[in-house]
Structure 1
Amino acid sequence: MKKKTNSFLNELNKLKKNNFLCIINIRFIFISENKKLLIAKIPINKKILNPFGYLHGGVTNSLSETVGCSLSFINIKSEKNYKKFNIFNIEISTNHVHHIKNGILFAKAEILHKGKTIHLVKVKVFNEKKILISFCKMTNLVLYKN
């Protein structure tokens, strides 16, 4: 099973070519064997700070949405006809509880509900000292491709 989870991580990390994932320099680092938990990290740099020198809240939201949707993707990928489906985030709610200026930011996504068309995901964003920066809940829609 470890070989399969490493394969999923490699596949996710390859998705960041010439798109937004490359800009925020995301790296997927862990997926649980049951595929209910996914962790990624990004380095904090000057390009993702707000004008006051703190991490921009939009980056936290983007990181949360990316990791949460990727977790939904991994969960449908293991199903037979996964190429016939797309994942879309349809609702996201984020509480920013702490500020940060530098270091490494981690996002830990966990599926709370996995239905046929709706996935409910929670994401905790924290720094390398395990201080909670933001908490997010999101709803992902699994849609059949036309």
Structure 2
Amino acid sequence: MDTQEQAWDEEAAERAVAVLKAVADPSRYRLLWALSGGRELPVSELAELLGAHVAATSQHLARLRTAGLVTTRREGTRIYYRAADVRGLLEEAQLAAEAGDGGTGPGGGAGAQDAVAVVRERATAARPAPVRRPALGQAQ
């Protein structure tokens, strides 16, 4: 088998965990979903979408910004928020939740192993095939 294990990178793992923690709140997940796909919205509109206070929405956005998941742009007195390229992360989280759920609701599903298998399968399918080059001196 010609697979290579990716070396463990403690810093990368810490950053990944920080991203997952930032998304691990229903309001923040919904904010990212609303902003994904290139949408750019001010905090007042995002608060309205959530049905939450502007102050609470601002705190959620600050947490997402700290994790590098949203960026801002100022126009006059308004600040507009835009999500980084997170749509794939959000979709994979949904897929993992559905696989772990078995489609039967909380606690009644196939388990985390099935969720991991589905996510790995999708990641493998999206990965391009390795390019095989002939060794030096071999005909092409």
| TM > 0.5 | no
Tell me which of the two structures has the higher relative contact order, counting C-alpha pairs closer than 8 angstroms and 6 or more residues apart: 1
Higher helix share: 2
Which entry has the higher C-alpha Rg, 1 or 2?
A: 2
Higher strand share: 1
